[in-house]
Structure 1
Amino acid sequence: MIDFSKLQTGQNSDTALQPRDIFNSLPGKEKGRYQYPRDVQSKVWEQWHNRKAESNLVIKMNTGSGKTVVGLLILKSCLNEGKGPAVYIVPDNYLVEQVVQEATSLGLPATNDYNSHGFLQGKEILITNIHTLVNGLSAFGVGDQGIKIRIGSLIIDDAHACLDTIEEQYTITLPSSSDSYKEIYKLLRNSLLQQSEPRVLEMEDYDPSIQMLAPFWAWQTNISEISKLLIQEKNEDYLKFKWPLIKDSLKLSRCVVSSSKIEISPHCIPINSIPSIEYAERKIFMTATLADDSVLASHFGITDSRAYQAICPDSFGDVGDRLILMPQVINPELSDDDIKNLCVHAKKYLNVVIIVPSDHRANYWKDVADSVLKKGNIHDGIKALKKTTKGLTVLVNRYDGIDLPNEACRLLVIDGLPDVRRMIDKVEEGILLGTDRSATQITQRVEQGMGRGVRSNDDYCAVLLIGKTLTRKLYAGSGVQKFSVGTKAQLDLSEKVASQIAKADLKAIWETLLYCLNQDSNWVSASKGALTSLTATPVSNADPVTMALRKAYDQALANNSKNIGEGIINSLSSANKVMKSYLKLRAAEYVNLYDQVESQKLVLSAANDNPRTLKPIDGIGYHKLEGELLEQARECKNYLQSFANPNIPIIELNGIFEDLKFEPETAARFELAFAQLARFIGFTSQRPETDSGRGPDVLWRTGPSQYIVVECKNGATTETINKHDCNQLNGSGEWFENKYGADIAYTPIMIHPAKKFEHAASPKATTRIMNIEKLEILKKNVRDFIKSVCSQGLISDETQIRNQLLQLKLRSVDFQTFYTTNFIAAK
């Protein structure tokens, strides 16, 4: 018998520290699959080895470049160095299986059992999902329990894809049936009434579209009573996994109220409630090349700027081939139905995958879909999809954590704006409309979605971005500038292709997609050339605002609140007005812990910058919609000239029309869109209820002494207009008369699918109804007006604009006659 221990003269897979050396010496690698490491893997391993002493590191690798192998070998190196136990975290169980299979193929010792002796002794890599690590009853230990399972080296793979789970675990949701909901609502009701009495009454009337942010001063004042209420229910299913994580940061949490639930979540994730994460000697965050890494601060507490100098390959030659088109930018005349027909045609030849933001949007595709996949059936559905080559699959709000390589997805469609899931995110989305922060979050989600269809450097996929609201955000709102370097290069190339087929019909767009889908040699050469010419250097992508907010939160959590707002206020210099408002509000919340008077001054300043945010305790005065009104055509000309080029108003208007639809739970977007619509035809507008807590949903000024008072009930599903809605419009009319005087003319308009009032309602004689039919006529005429003026280069010609307004019945005197109808009184 040969004693091989006597022959071990060099390094082997259990003694080497360089990951590349470990890879080359692994005795159990699957033959033919791992002959040599890829160049990008070797470069990343080398960079990591040079910086391994740093406690927090970010590794960015393109999708399909062998990221899993890189992570596993890094952890094996850590074990060889005695820096165990080693844990490899992925977003879900589906990916746990994949990583375990990869480890097995490499011949690496791995387990998915956190009780395994091999793992605890630092001889195996634990592969598990983020939920196992981050939950209120975590086996790794929570809060006062301390560290129950120590972690020496931790990799969080697909870090951005883990965020939804982390946010969910740190969010308490109290159902309206619970005692805690009822009692907390009682404590907060008066402060909510001060923000907007109509919204409170609508919420109490079970309007599902209403979500209200509780004023932080009321939350902080009542925090002791709120804590007692939650402690009484801490063993309930909706609390027991959450309470241990959030209880010590309850005072620094936000509370959002709706008719169905109360949602409580901290401003930043207090990840130190899981000590094993906080005290892990090495933490490595692996992600694709996304543009914004600020979540590492907000969710993992990483504020060391050195950590954001990411380790990444210096080339993009390993990125797969993508042609990315926005059909409704190429041809603004194309409807969603047109693109749906294109997808129906495509599914005869290949797999088409549609990512939609909601169940409601999934219903639009249901009649042509072969399967609709959501949380309950996603894993089995993806396995089935990978065995097919033709068909159409819809994914509901799943932009990350799914691999669709090769034939599983050849045409990928991102349909519409990604939808936020939590109520607090919806509230903040409303506050931050029009800011870079909002655009970055949307763009990052879209880029994650686009990464599903290309999983290796020899993979390829055509991508369509559709939905007029989405294209408006990306194109008109310059959202494309937020994409990562590789995606921007592919978009730039695709844009050059799109410019050659401007105003193309469906047939031409399909034929263009075929260059990628058929891997035309000229296209492949151009596509690969656009990427191989790129080089990247590690740069810091930490948003200074997010970093300032995280540091302020940590100070407040440590009760070091004095002058806490200064760091936030100092980050205001480069922010726009809306962002400044948000930051002032965040600063005010911390300042309130020690100076309530100064806090309210900040709230007042924030509200003056942005009426969509909280109002101070004493409220703010309503400012009339008045002043010198330019003649309608001139006002219209000035507005249209404010856009960088005449195509943008068309795209912007398409996005507004996307939100002007009769659909439940869309009231906030509808109201904003209807207010914005006024500018396109030379009128001015306000949202008095949103701005000041009183008045109509929307107010249009159409002349020196002519106004339209609007209540938007686009989400109504009843066949008659109820008494409550009627009284709300009547009340808005009285509000107008009080503010503007009884001698100023106004038309009260109810936007509602029905024309008939119920028997108990008493509408004013002057009330007019805008139903679905009338709204569609208005949209058509405004669309035709903007199209004619912008496409013909008439935006500087007041005479032509006036003629078009006259021709298309868009003057003030036309509005009542052509876009509203008489109501029908109940008999």
Structure 2
Amino acid sequence: MAINFSKLKSSSNQSSIEPRDIFMALPTKDKSYGYPRDVQTEVWKQWFDKRNEKNTIIKMNTGSGKTVVGLTILQSCLNEGKGPAVYIVPDNFLIKQVCDEAIKLGIRVAYDNEGVKGEEDYYFKHNKAILVTNIHKLINGKSVFGLRSSNNVKIGSIIIDDVHACLDTIEKQHTITIESNHDLYKKIISYISNYTEVKESQNFCDIKDRNDPRYSYLVPFWIWQKECQNIYNSISDEDYKDEAFVLFNLPLMRDNWKTANCVISARRVEITLKGTPINKITSFEEAQRRIFMSATLADDSVFVSSIGLKEKELSNIITPEKANDIGERLIIFPKHLNAKITDEEIKNEICNVANQHNVVVIVPSFDRANFWSDISPSQILSSNADNIQSGVDKLKRGEFTGITILVNKYDGIDLPDDACRMLVVDGLPSIRSEYDLAIQGMNPNDNRLCREQIQKIEQGMGRGVRSNNDFCSIVLMGEKLTDVIVNQHGKEFFSSATLEQWNLSQQLWEQLMESTQSPTIENIFALTNYMFERNPEWISASKSNLSNVVYNKSGNVDSLILAMREAFEKECLENYEESFSIIEQEKNKTNDNKTKGLLMQYMAEYKNFSNPAVAQEILLSARNLNSMVLKPIKGIQFSKLTSTNNGQSNSIIKYIEENGLNANEYILRVSAILEDLKFSDNPAKRFEKALNDIASVIGIASSRPEVQFGGEAPDNLLAFSNSEYVIIECKNRTITELISKDDCEQLLSSIQWFKNHYILGEKYTPIMIHNSDTFRTEASPSPDMRIMTPELLDEFSRAIRGFAEGVVKNGVFGNNKEVEKLLNSFKLNGYQIINQYTKPFSKNK
């Protein structure tokens, strides 16, 4: 061929890097892309100002041109020399959608095509094309982006689109599933079935002996920690080297194997991690720019739990200014308005609608799809059948009219305009994993699981509106779905725009209910006519309500998700004590006993690496809060704090000897502890530890039950003798003039904890360390409570300092009798402390 030298350019020529300018200058873009939408321009500008941040989050409504925004941003990155550029989507179906959009724009893309791998494309390798691929290819145990021994594909800039939809795949890639017909299934069961606690589990017996599909069994962590190496060796055996879970899952999981969750059911063995070590994909970890795109869903936990972003990186999310870019949705909820309406009646009414409009029904499983199988015309589409692309194309081209059933497909499908005028969400989306099913059994109201299901419902509801001029009626069906959305307040997890449309629809329901207390199915479906007939008042009300919704630019992440991710990251470093402390702090914040009990189970698992006996005691305490958590080993008893029988003076001398302290070192030790034993805004745990340590310095047996056992246990417990105890709640950060009802109830709970675990008749004194000695009127303190105020704490500290100075004098250091005299002199001998350094409380009148 003849070379056209006029096409040759100087390497110094600069291409535009502002996304909107790039869009406007694209020479071959389809004529339908005349000017960008306002929301696209808004987002481009915000991103451009932040483009040099490593991680940015973009949230745009379904149908607002998100793909165009993403492709143009990556082209900007290439123009600025921040390549190679990669565009990640949840599945192959969406690869085609993105590539089709790129071709219409005139942006060059690379993808796997006819045996040629996208990453080997000449233009991609030379930073002149965007690689479009799926999340599977990015995250797997043989990833070309970081898990090959050499020649890994580098990433300069990457977009992960539909992050929430990618969550399933990310977690599946960090899960090993062994079906019950695999010989490894029996091998794994054989490893754990010899333990007494396993043999005595009715769930396990029903699975093993009766193959009952209703039950699952979470392998106790102490058994897993003993047997995990044997199980690992079996899975990685030469016989299974070509298994997909060995090739693509095990390499991602191997470093966190000791803390994996193993759940056995009659269907399968499932092994999962407590988090996703996504940093193993080194090219992704080292990318200069990582852009995460999602719909405007309310919960941002996925960015933390699956991607590992920090809370501060969620503080300034890129969004359009307002929600007026979303289409109309009128929601009806027949069984919520009249519980007597049957599913058959709803189906019949939907069939009537399908005579005039395309209806799409999303079901969670093939079992539920059978409920709709008698309808004609209908088509059932699923990823398993690999027919989603062709079925959706028929809808878009107008080649099919009737009812389309989507099986467990809540995201990644565009159904604009007449392709879908009514969308039915039939039933609650399935819980993702066996482990999540086990967690739901322990805590039915687990917020994370509820949020994830609501998120899928909302994603499904978004399939039918793809622009602000589009409209679609939404029908919600199913008993469980009703329970989660209404009774468990799941609607509170909707995004602001969806919640506004819910509230607007609810106003229609209420007007209907005013006219008839038990509306018929016909009455309820008649509401959709306002939308289908394009009633101008309905359109005006819908547009007006959405125009007032402003997107939240701050991330919304449950503190529990943050804690679990932080604990997982410490776990990756095998710093299990820090993982324990992080979960413990989160446990102390929650008021829900079932959640507390579950968190204590996590704490016990981490504690088992350093102190198996204490781990079992924590589990024993957890069962008092949540009877559904793991049972401790049979026969485990609560380990009580006991006093030494040698008296305080002997204990002090023993303490000095065991710690190898000379006189100066003893003084320095006491001084260091007392630095933390004061009222201040220092963390409460530092004060509690100092109190525990100072008790040892003066020869008193002490413990921190809340740290050990969680739940309602006291901060500190002292044992003057084996029948005389002091129960202490530390409120060293308080500045209030009165003691609150909540603080009072906390000490009352600690007293009850002591009564539950110690023999009745043992003497105890409850003490609160607080800024005030006066309870609020609404508080109900027990008469035996005493208070240590800041002034009394200072006196106590001065006495200890004076005592320590006396101990190190010649003739006293190591002398039992002289130490005993000093204890009495400074009022530090047993109950002298209570009489001298605490006082009775007052009650506010």
TM, length-normalised to structure 2: 0.70
Aligned pair partner of 1:532 in 539, 547, 554 = 547
1:516-555 mapped onto 2 (5 Å cutoff): 516-555=531-570
Change (3 A) 1:446 1:620: farther
- The CA RMSD measured in Å over matched residues stands at 2.4
Aligned pair partner of 2:277 in 267, 270, 273 = 270
> What does residue 58 of structure 1 align with?
57
> What does residue 566 of structure 1 align with?
581
Superimposed CA distance per residue, residues 431-466 of structure 1 (whole angstroms, 9 cap, x where no aligned partner): 231233332122111111111111111111000111
- Contact 1:563–1:591 under 8 Å retained in 2: no
* Letter of the structure 1 residue corresponding to residue 388 of structure 2: I
Instruction: Return the offset for 1:54.
Output: 1.4
Change (3 A) 1:307 1:132: same
Gaps of 5+ in 2: 112-117, 638-845
> What does residue 587 of structure 1 align with?
603
1:182-221 mapped onto 2 (5 Å cutoff): 182-191=186-195, 193-194=197-198, 196-204=200-208, 205-221=210-226
Whole-angstrom CA distance in 1 between matches of 2:388 and 2:67: 22
* Letter of the structure 1 residue corresponding to residue 290 of structure 2: K
**Is residue 177 of structure 2 the alignment partner of residue 173 of structure 1?**
yes
Whole-angstrom CA distance in 2 between matches of 1:192 and 1:371: 51
* Letter of the structure 1 residue corresponding to residue 440 of structure 2: E
**Is residue 58 of structure 2 the alignment partner of residue 47 of structure 1?**
no
Change (3 A) 1:203 1:8: closer
Instruction: Return the offset for 1:153.
Output: 0.6
Whole-angstrom CA distance in 2 between matches of 1:388 and 1:191: 61
Change (3 A) 1:105 1:591: same
- Between the two proteins, what is the percent identity of the paired residues? 42
Change (3 A) 1:593 1:132: same
Instruction: Return the offset for 1:308.
Output: 4.7
Change (3 A) 1:305 1:521: same
**Is residue 130 of structure 2 the alignment partner of residue 131 of structure 1?**
no
Aligned pair partner of 1:155 in 159, 184, 189 = 159
1:426-441 mapped onto 2 (5 Å cutoff): 426-441=437-452
Whole-angstrom CA distance in 2 between matches of 1:182 and 1:148: 37
* Letter of the structure 1 residue corresponding to residue 403 of structure 2: L
**Is residue 261 of structure 2 the alignment partner of residue 247 of structure 1?**
no
Aligned pair partner of 1:230 in 230, 235, 242 = 235
- Contact 2:324–2:546 under 8 Å retained in 1: yes
> What does residue 26 of structure 1 align with?
26
> What does residue 102 of structure 1 align with?
101
- Contact 2:204–2:216 under 8 Å retained in 1: no
Whole-angstrom CA distance in 1 between matches of 2:606 and 2:73: 41
* Letter of the structure 2 residue corresponding to residue 498 of structure 1: W
Superimposed CA distance per residue, residues 260-293 of structure 1 (whole angstroms, 9 cap, x where no aligned partner): 3211111111112221211111111100011111
Number of residue-to-residue matches in the alignment: 617
- Contact 2:46–2:318 under 8 Å retained in 1: yes
**Is residue 507 of structure 2 the alignment partner of residue 507 of structure 1?**
no
* Letter of the structure 1 residue corresponding to residue 286 of structure 2: Y
Whole-angstrom CA distance in 1 between matches of 2:204 and 2:306: 32
Whole-angstrom CA distance in 1 between matches of 2:561 and 2:149: 30
* Letter of the structure 1 residue corresponding to residue 142 of structure 2: L
* Letter of the structure 2 residue corresponding to residue 534 of structure 1: V
> What does residue 474 of structure 2 align with?
463
1:408-447 mapped onto 2 (5 Å cutoff): 408-447=419-458
State the structure with more CA Rg: 2
Instruction: Return the offset for 1:26.
Output: 1.5
**Is residue 387 of structure 2 the alignment partner of residue 372 of structure 1?**
no
- Contact 1:58–1:311 under 8 Å retained in 2: yes
* Letter of the structure 2 residue corresponding to residue 118 of structure 1: Y
Instruction: Return the offset for 1:241.
Output: 2.0
Change (3 A) 1:138 1:434: same
Whole-angstrom CA distance in 1 between matches of 2:333 and 2:353: 16
Instruction: Return the offset for 1:2.
Output: 12
* Letter of the structure 2 residue corresponding to residue 165 of structure 1: T
Instruction: Return the offset for 1:591.
Output: 2.1
* Letter of the structure 2 residue corresponding to residue 359 of structure 1: F
Superimposed CA distance per residue, residues 377-416 of structure 1 (whole angstroms, 9 cap, x where no aligned partner): 2222222233346301111111111221111111111111
Whole-angstrom CA distance in 2 between matches of 1:617 and 1:158: 44
SS at match of 1:465: strand
SS at match of 1:64: coil
Instruction: Return the offset for 1:85.
Output: 0.4
Whole-angstrom CA distance in 2 between matches of 1:8 and 1:25: 19
SS at match of 1:114: helix
> What does residue 357 of structure 2 align with?
350
> What does residue 688 of structure 2 align with?
none
Change (3 A) 1:28 1:339: same
> What does residue 614 of structure 1 align with?
630
- Contact 1:293–1:542 under 8 Å retained in 2: yes
Instruction: Return the offset for 1:487.
Output: 0.2
Superimposed CA distance per residue, residues 205-260 of structure 1 (whole angstroms, 9 cap, x where no aligned partner): 21122211111111111222122111102332443222222122211211011233
Superimposed CA distance per residue, residues 46-81 of structure 1 (whole angstroms, 9 cap, x where no aligned partner): 111111121111110011111001101111111111
* Letter of the structure 2 residue corresponding to residue 427 of structure 1: A
> What does residue 416 of structure 2 align with?
405
Whole-angstrom CA distance in 2 between matches of 1:80 and 1:540: 30
Whole-angstrom CA distance in 2 between matches of 1:134 and 1:5: 39
Instruction: Return the offset for 1:5.
Output: 8.5
Aligned pair partner of 1:337 in 333, 341, 344 = 344
Whole-angstrom CA distance in 1 between matches of 2:44 and 2:290: 15
Instruction: Return the offset for 1:562.
Output: 2.6
SS at match of 2:557: coil
Instruction: Return the offset for 1:117.
Output: 2.0
- Contact 1:147–1:275 under 8 Å retained in 2: no
> What does residue 402 of structure 2 align with?
391
Aligned pair partner of 2:329 in 322, 332, 345 = 322
Whole-angstrom CA distance in 1 between matches of 2:487 and 2:636: 33
* Letter of the structure 2 residue corresponding to residue 248 of structure 1: D
- Contact 2:597–2:626 under 8 Å retained in 1: yes
Instruction: Return the offset for 1:551.
Output: 1.0
SS at match of 1:126: strand
Whole-angstrom CA distance in 2 between matches of 1:398 and 1:412: 13
* Letter of the structure 1 residue corresponding to residue 56 of structure 2: L
